[in-house]
Structure 1
Amino acid sequence: MDEQIIKTEYSDVMQKSYIDYAMSVIVARALPDVRDGLKPVQRRTLYDMYELGIRYDKPYRKCARIVGDTMGKYHPHGDSSIYESLVVMSQEFKKGLPLVDGHGNFGSIEGDGAAAMRYTEARLQKITQEAYLADLDKDVVDFVPNFDETEKEPAVLPVKIPNLLINGADGIAVGMATNIPPHNLGEVIDGVKAYMTNPEITTSELMKYIKGPDFPTGGRVVNKDELLSIYETGQGKVKIRGNVIIENGKNGKDKLVITEIPYTMIGANIGKFLNDICTLVENKKTNDIIDISNQSSKDGIRIVLDLKKHADVDNLLNLLYKKTKLEDTFGVNMLAVADGKPETMGLKEIIKRNVNFQIELTTRKYKTLLSKELDKKEVQEGLMRACDVIDLIIEILRGSKNIKEAKDCLITGNTANIKFKTKASEKSASQLHFTERQATAILEMRLYKLIGLEIEALMKDHETTLKNIAHYEDILSNQATMIATIKKELDAIKKEYAKPRKTIIENAAEAVYEEKKIEEQEVVFLMDRFGYTKTIDLAAFERNKEAVLSENRYVFSCMNTDKICIFTDQGMLHSVKVLDLPFGKFRDKGIPIDNACNYNSSDENLIFVSALSEMKDKLLLFTTKNGMMKQVSGEEFDVSKRTIAATKLAEGDELVSIDIMEGVQNIVIQTNKGIFLRFLSDEVPQKKRGAIGVRGIKLSKDDYIEEIYKFNENTSIQINYKEKEISLNRLKLASRDTKGTKARV
C-alpha cells in the first residue's frame, strides 16, 4: 500500500489536540458526574473495593492492595491520585458522609498527611454498600470496557442519594473548576422527596428543607440572605465563620475559645491562623491577647486565646474576623458533568437530574426483577403441571433412549421412538406442550420434590411469585407507585444514617473593627553597622547619647507614625513603618533590617536611610557611579508599596549617593582617580524617579565617582584625601558636565 501524506495546518492540529485533551481532563478526571456525584477515580476505587469483597462486615485490607488493583484494572494514572482519593473519602472532617472506613493514620484536620499506603488499611462503609453499590447485579447501570478492554467497569454507580450535594466536590479542570459545599443528608433527602411530590417546586421552597451548606467542621454561615441567589445560579460566595465562645476567667481575665473552625481552614491553614494572630500581636494591632494555645485533640478543635484584664472582646473578635481566616469565604461553583458535558447547575437542577437518575435506576432494577419472576413463574407452572401427570412423565423417561427424545416429547408431544405401556399413555404424551424452560426444569427435578410438603411449598412460592409480578408491574406502569418506592428507600436511608446539622445558618452583621488610634510620640531610630535596627525613646537617647552615636551607623529622630525609607545601590527603595520596628531599651538587640522589609543584604547595599517626613518636602540629589545625576522630589517616595524602584539605572551602573538638598548648594564630585569638580546644584535638573538623569562630570576611561560633597556658599569645608587636606570651598567653581581638575597630592 502506498504511503499517503495528508497536509494540514499545524494550528488546526494543535487546536483539535488541545480540545481533545481538555475534554478528557474535564470528563474523565477532574469533574464529578451529576448522577452519582463521583469523579472517575473515586468511582473506580469504590467499585474495586466492592469487587475485592472488602465489605463493611469483612476484615480491613491493606490500602496498597486496593490502590494496586484499582490502578491495574481501571485507573492507570498513578498510585498517588488513587490513594489520595481513598484517604479523602475516609476523612470525616472533609466529607459530610465518609464512604470508606479507614484503619490507621489517615491524616488529621491540622494538615498532617496520611501514612504510606503500605501501613494503612480500609474497607467500605455500610452506607456505601447499601446506597452506592447495591443492585449492581440487577443491570441498573451500563458497564463499559476499561482502558485496555480486559475488564468491565460501571459507567456510573447506582447511588440512591444526591451524593454531589451531600459530600460536595472540588476539582480543577482545563479552563474551569468545581467547588460544591457539603450538605446535610437528612435535609437533602427531604428536599428530594419534596421535589418528587411537586416537580414545580421553586428553589426558595426547596430551601425550606435544605437550609444551606452543612460543613463537617461546623461553624456558621453568616450570609443567609445570599444563599437563594447562590442556589438558583449555582455560583456565589458563602461567608463562613468559626464558632467562638467566651470563658470567664479569674480577675476579669477572659478567654476566647474557638471550638469550630471554618471549612476552608482545614489543614495547613490552622497553623497559618495561629501565625496570623501572633503577627497581629507583634505588629501591635491588638494588645488584648496575652497568650495563645492550640489544645485541639481527637475530641475536637479547641484554640484558646488568653486575654488581658477587661479586654474589649467584641472589638477583638471583629479584628480576628477581618484579619485572619476565622472568617472566610467558600467560593461556590456547582459545576458537574451532565449528559457528557460540563454544566453549572442550581440546587433544583441537581435534584431534578438526580431524581431522573433514580427513576432510571428503579425502572431498570424492576424490569430485571420482573423478568426473573416471570421466568420463575414459567418454571413453577411447568413443575405444578408436571406433578399432576408425574406418572406419565416417568413413563416417558423410562421409554426414552436419551434426554433429547424425552425433552422433545415434553415440548412438542413427539412420541416417536418412545415405548409406552399403553396407547392411552402414548395419546396423553402426544398432547403435552411444555415450554423449553419448563421441560428443562422437569428433567432436572429431583424425586424428593414429589413429597406433599414440597408440592405445597411450590404452590406457596408460586403465589409469592404472582404477588411479586403484580407488584413489579405496578411499579413499572404506575408513576405514583414508583415514586412511593423510591421515597420508601430514601426514608430508610435517612432513618439509619441522618445526623443533626452541624453548621448554623444565620445573617450576621459585617465585622467592623475600630483600630485604636496610636498615641503619637517622638522616637529615635537606630541602625548599627550589622543592620540591626530598633527605636528608643528620646530620654533613653539623651542618657546614652555618646554610646548611641558611636555604636550605630544611622541615628535620627522621627515620629512613631512615620515611615523609614531605605535606599540601596541597586536603585531600590524599601519602606518600613516605624511601628513595625521593635521599641525598647538602648541595649536591646533589635531585629535585622532584612526581616522588617524586602531589603536583601546579600544582593544590595544600603546607601541612604531617612524618615519619610524628613525628605517629603525636599529635593533628593541622586548620583550614580557612572556620573549620572538628577534631583527628585521627596513626595515621589510617599507610596503604599513596600518596595519600588527609586530610580532608573543604565546597565552596569549603580547608585553611590543620595543627599537631601536645602536650596541652592555647592556640589563637589570626587572620582576614583582624584578628579574634583565643583558646580552649583541648580545645574542639576529636577526629574521624575523613573528618569536616568543627566551627566554630572565627564569621566576618563576606567574612572568612576567615589564621593559627593555638598555645602552652602561661604562655608569652609576640608576633607582628607590621600593624607592631604583639600579645601572644597577653594576649588574653582566650574560647570556641570566638564572634566574637573586633578588633586595635587
Structure 2
Amino acid sequence: MPEFQTTDEGFERVALRDYTEKAYLDYSMYVILDRALPNVGDGLKPVQRRIIYAMSELGLKSTSKYKKSARTVGDVLGKFHPHGDSACYEAMVLMAQPFSYRYPLVDGQGNWGSPDDPKSFAAMRYTESRLARFADVLLSELGQGTADWVPNFDGTMDEPSILPARLPHVLLNGTTGIAVGMATDIPPHNVREVTAACVHLLDAPDATVEQLCEYIHGPDYPTRAEIITPRKDLLQMYETGRGSLRMRARWVNEGGDLVITDLPHQVSGNRVLEQIAQQMQAKKLPMVADLRDESDHENPTRLVIVPRSNRVDAEGLMAHLFASTDLEKPYRVNINVIGNDGRPGVKGLVQLLTEWLTFRRATVIRRLQYRLDKVLARLHLLEGLLIAYLNLDEVIEIIRYEDKPKAELMTRFSLSADQAEAILELKLRHLAKLEEMKIRGEQDELAIERDHLQAILGSEKNLRQLIKTELQQDAETYGDDRRSPIVERGESRAFSNIDLVSNDPVTIVLSEKGWVRAAKGHDIDPLGLSYKAGDKFSLQVHGRNNQQVIFLDSTGRAYALMAHSLPSARGQGEPLSGHINPPPGAQFCGLLMGDSQRKVVLVTDGGYGFATSLGDMLSKNRNGKTLVSVPKGARIMAPVMVPALALAPESRETLYLAVVSNEGRMLVFPLIELPELVKGKGNKLISIPSARVQSRDEFVVAVAVFAHSDQLEIHAGKRKMSLQFNDLEHYLGERGRRGHKLPRGLQRVDRIGVTAVAAATGAAHQQE
C-alpha cells in the first residue's frame, strides 16, 4: 500500500510510483473480476448477468411478448451497468445469435446479424427481444434464497452477485475475454455430455479426466464442422485447462463439384470465397475453373468449387484449401475462470466440474433450507390459527374488549408474536367452520413436505441423489444431439510450387559452354537446335516439368534446379552460371532427372564409384553440394542411371555392373556388391594401380548397368560385339578384381550399350 503523508496545508502526499502502481493494480483487478472473466457458478460475465437479470425483472420470459431491445439496454445501463450502450447491446446480441452461442440465452426478433457478418445486426431501436427458454436454467431458482444480493452501482437497489445456475453453464456456452495480464477462451459443450460427466463425478469424486472424457467427447460448437484434434490432445487440454483444437469444414463431391456444406465456428463464407479467389487470381489454383456461392435459406452454407476436369485430385485440392484458407481454423483453449473462492485461475476439467458441483450443492442446500424455513414458519402460524379456531369466542372477546389484544392473546394461549399477529390479521370471512378443516389439511401437507426436506438436508446421500435427478431432468429438457462431430483426419498440406507446376514432358539441353534450356516434349533433336557461335551441344536429359534437374560437374559437385524455372528452347537458353555458382574451370559431365528414389551409379575413371539416389543429390545451395571425391589424376565420368526396377531392394540382386578400362579389361559383378553412399570416393570397382591412374596410362572408359535378361553391346570403333548373360561367364568376378581382356579388335572400347530383350516376342528395344 502507498504511504500517505499529510502536509501542514491538509493535503496528502504519496510517491507517484506507489500511486500509479496501486491505481493500475486496482484497475486490473476490476477488469479481471468485474468485466472480462466468467464466474464458475453461472458461467457469466457481469454484463451478461445484468442483462439477463434486467430482462427477467422486465417480465421478458420466453412465453411473454417481445419488447424493444433499447428498453432492455436502458434498464441495464440505468440500474446495474453504467457503461456504454453499444458495448452492452453487443453483449446482448452475442447471447441471441444461434451461430455464436451453442444455447442462446436471448430470443431475438429482427436483424441480429449473420454468420458471414456477425456485427451486421440492426440498431437496438429496431430489434425486439425476450429471454430464451434456456435462460430458465439460470433464473428459475433466483427467488428461492439461492443468491447473494449486493447493492448496485448507486446503492438504490440490489442485484444478484451470481445466478443460481442449474447446469454448468460455464462449459455449455463457453466464453472469451481479455483481461489485464490474462485471458479466457472456453469452448462450448453439449448439455447431455457435460451433465452425464457431472453425474459420474457425483458417484465417483476421484474420477480422472480420461474417465470424464468417456462422457465429454470434446467441445460442441454451434456449427456442424468437424473437430479434427486427436483425442490425446483433447485429453491434455482437459487435463491442464490449456491447449488448442482445430475445426475443419465439411464437404461433399457432387458430380465432380466440391460443395462445402459446413464451415468452422465464426468463419465467414464470404471470407473463404475471397481467399480462394485471391489464390485463383494469383494462379496458385490452376486446377480450379469456377467458384460459386449457392447459399440460401434452406442451405445456409453451400460453397461450390468447380475443378477444371475430373482428373483433378479432389482430396489433394481440399487438403490445400484447408491449409491455406479458413476452411480449417485453430482455436485457443484457456479455461480461465473466477472460482468459488473469488480468485481467477486456469482450471482443468475435473477441477472445474468439481467446483461447480460444490457451488450447485451449496445452492441446492440454500434452496431447500429456504423452503424449509418457509414451511416451518407457516406451520408455526397454522398452529396459532388452529388454537384461535378452537377458542374462537374467547379470542373474539379479547380482541373486542382488550386495549392490547396482541399481548393478551400471547399470554392467554402461549402464542408467539407472529402467531398473535396472524390471528389479528384474520379476515372475518375466514372465521367459517370450513377454515379449520383447511388449516388441518394444509398442516398435513406441510408436515409431509417438512419431513421430506429434512430427510434430504439430513442425508448426504439423499442430497446427492436430488442433485443427480435434477441434472438428468434438465438434460432431458434442454439437451440435444452433438452438432460438431469429432473425427480423426490427416494433416492438411498446402500445394508447394512443385505441386502447382504441370507435369508435362520436357527435355533439358546443355551446351558445352554451359548454356541451358528446356524444350517441351521428348522428341527433341538437340543437334538441330541453334547455339551461340563457337558453342555446340553437350548433354541432354528427359524428364517432367515439375521435376528437378541435377547438374554434375567435373569437380564432383551436384547442383539442382527446377525444370520449369529454366528458359524455353525457343531461344538459345541462358548461362547456367546465372542460376548456380560452379567453381572456375569446372565442366559439366552429367544431367539427371527422375524420381527422388531412383538410383544412380557415380564413377570416376580411376576405378572407384558408389550408388546413390537422386534425392541425395539434391541441393538448394547455389554452390551445390560436394558429392564425389575425385582421386588424384582421375576424372569423373557420366553418371549411369540404374533401371527403375531397382527401386525394390530385392530386385538389385538381378542387376549387374560392367566396367571396362582403356586396356580392354572388363569386369562384371552384381550391383548388390556396390555400396550405397550419400557422398564420398566410393569403393573400388576394378583394380587399376593408382600410379597408372595418375599418369593416365590406364583408366575406366565405359560403365553399364544391366539386368540378367539384357543383352550387352560392346562398341569399339566400327566393331560391335553382342553378349548375352551366358556369354559373360569369363568376365564375371568379385568387385575390385582386375577383370579379363576383351577379344582382339574390341579392346579399344568406346562405349557399352544395353538392350532389353522382351521375353515373350524376342524383340529388342533400347533401355533408357
> What interval of TM-score do these two structures reach, taking the shorter chain for normalisation?
0.5 to 0.7
Relative to 1, partners in 2 of residues 1:617 and 1:349: Cα closer, same or farther, differing over 3 Å? Answer: same
Q: Which amino acid aligns with 2:204?
A: N
Tell me whether 1:494 sits opposite 2:475 in the alignment: yes
**Is 1:412 the counterpart of 2:411 in the alignment?**
yes
Please give the residue correspondences for 1:173-188 in structure 2 after superposition, counting only pairs within 5 Å: 173-188=179-194
Q: Is the counterpart of residue 125 in structure 1 residue 132 in structure 2?
A: yes
Query: How far apart are residue 215 of structure 1 and its match?
Result: 0.7
What is the distance in 1 between the residues matched to 2:563 and 2:278? Answer: 16
Deviation at 1:615, TM superposition (A): 8.0
User: Is residue 188–residue 210 contact of structure 1 (8 Å, CA) maintained in 2?
Assistant: yes
Give the alignment of 1:200-279 within 5 angstroms.
200-222=206-228, 223-247=230-254, 249=255, 254-265=256-267, 267=268, 270-279=269-278
Per the alignment, residue 337 of structure 2 pairs with 336
- 1:111 maps onto 2:117 in alignment: yes
Residue 97 of structure 1 pairs with residue 98 of structure 2? no
Mapping of residues 145-164 of structure 1, within 5 Å: 145-164=151-170
Aligned 8 A contact 2:99 2:266 in 1: no
Q: What residue number does 2:279 align with?
A: 280
1:697 aligned partner: none
What SS does the aligned partner of 1:89 have?
Answer: helix
Q: Give TM-score, length-normalised by structure 2.
A: 0.63
Tell me, yes or no, if the aligned pair for 1:264 and 1:328 is still in contact at 8 Å: no
Q: Write the letter of the residue equivalent to 2:330.
A: T
Asked if 2 retains the 8 angstrom alpha-carbon contact of 1:411 and 1:434, the reply is yes
| Whole-Å separation in 2 of the counterparts to 1:442 and 1:5 | 62
Distance 2:439 2:247 in 1: 63
Q: 2:432 aligns with which of 448, 451, 462?
A: 451
CA distance in 2, matches of 1:310, 1:35: 56
> Helix, strand or coil: the match of 2:364?
helix
Instruction: Provide the secondary structure at the position in 2 that maps to 1:458.
Output: helix
Q: Which of 67, 72, 79 pairs up with 2:78?
A: 72
Deviation at residue 82 of structure 1 after TM alignment: 0.5
How many residues are treated as equivalent by the alignment?
521
SS at match of 2:143: helix
Correspondence for 1:10 among 8, 16, 21? 16
Aligned-partner Cα distance in 1 for 2:286–2:500: 10
- Using the TM superposition, give the Cα deviation of residue 493 of structure 1 relative to its aligned residue in structure 2, in angstroms: 1.5
**Aligned CA distance change for structure 1 residues 579 and 329 (closer, same or farther; 3 Å):** farther
Change in CA separation of 1:157 and 1:519 when aligned onto 2, cut-off 3 Å: same
Tell me, what secondary structure is at the counterpart of 2:51? helix
- Counterpart residue type for residue 63 of structure 2: D
Superposed displacement of residue 109, structure 1: 0.5
What letter is aligned with 1:473?
Answer: Q
Q: Is 1:367 equivalent to 2:369 in the alignment?
A: yes
Give the 3 Å change call, closer, same or farther, for CA 384–317 of structure 1 in structure 2: same
Alignment of 1:318-337 (within 5 A): 318-337=319-338
Whether the aligned pair in 2 keeps the contact of 1:86 and 1:100 (CA below 8 Å) is: yes
Are the equivalent residues in 2 in contact too, given 1:264–1:330 (CA < 8 A)?
Answer: no
Partner Cα separation in structure 1 for residue 393 and residue 62 of structure 2: 51
% of aligned pairs identical? 37
**Where do 1:281-320 residues align within 5 Å?**
281-299=280-298, 300-307=300-307, 308-320=309-321
- The change in CA–CA distance for 1:433 and 1:330 in structure 2 (over 3 A counts) is same
Q: Which residue of 2 aligns with 1:382?
A: 384
Residue 311 of structure 1, CA deviation? 2.0
> Partner of 2:354 in structure 1?
352
Structure 1 SS opposite 2:171 = helix
SS in 2 for 1:490: helix
Secondary structure in structure 2 of the residue aligned to 1:137:
coil
- For structure 1, list consecutive stretches of 5 or more residues without a partner in the other structure: 414-431, 523-536, 539-559, 562-576, 584-609, 619-636, 639-745
| Deviation by residue 1:225-266 (Cα, 9 ceiling, x = unmatched) | 31100000011111211111111x2xxxx111111111141x
State the Cα distance separating 1:221 from its structure 2 match: 1.3
SS at match of 1:213: coil
Cα separation, partners in 2 of 1:240 and 1:53, compared to 1, 3 Å: same
TM-score (norm. length: structure 1): 0.65
Contact 1:288 1:312 in 2 (8 A): no
Deviation at 1:185, TM superposition (A): 1.0
* 1:591-617 superposed Cα distances (whole Å, 9 cap, x missing partner): xxxxxxxxxxxxxxxxxxx99984876
Render the CA deviation track for 1:429-456: whole Å, top value 9, x for unaligned. Answer: xxx2122111122222234434343322
Check whether the contact 2:501–2:564 (CA below 8 A) recurs between aligned residues. no
The match for 1:660 is none
What is the deviation of 1:68?
1.4
Query: Could you tell me how far apart the structure 2 residues matched to 1:615 and 1:507 are?
Result: 44
Q: SS at the partner of 1:106?
A: coil
Structural mapping, 1:324-723, within 5 Å:
324-338=325-339, 339-400=341-402, 402=403, 405-413=404-412, 432-512=413-493, 515-518=499-502, 614=578
Instruction: Tell me which residue corresponds to 2:32.
Output: 26
C-alpha deviation, 1:26, in angstroms = 1.2
Where in structure 2 are there 5+ consecutive unaligned residues?
Answer: 1-6, 507-518, 521-544, 547-561, 569-573, 583-620, 623-768
* Distance of 1:613 and 1:281 partners within structure 2: 34
CA contact (8 A) 1:449 1:455 kept: no
Task: Give the SS at the match of 2:258.
Answer: strand
My pick for the range that moved more, 221-230 or 40-49, is 221-230
Q: CA deviation at 1:116?
A: 0.6
- 1:565-598 per-position Cα deviation (integer Å, ceiling 9, x unaligned): xxxxxxxxxxxx9999xx9xxxxxxxxxxxxxxx
Structure 2 residue matching 1:102: 3-state secondary structure: strand
Q: 1:200 to 1:312 in 2, by over 3 A?
A: same
Whether contact under 8 Å (1:333, 1:344) holds in the other structure is yes
Q: Secondary structure at the match of 1:105?
A: coil
3-state SS of 1:501 partner:
coil
In structure 2, relative to structure 1, the CA distance for the partners of 1:228 and 1:323 (3 Å cut) is same
Query: Which stretch has the larger CA shift, 346-355 or 486-495?
Result: 486-495
The answer as to whether partners of 2:104 and 2:134 remain within 8 angstroms in 1 is no
Partners of 1:611 and 1:31 in 2: CA distance? 65
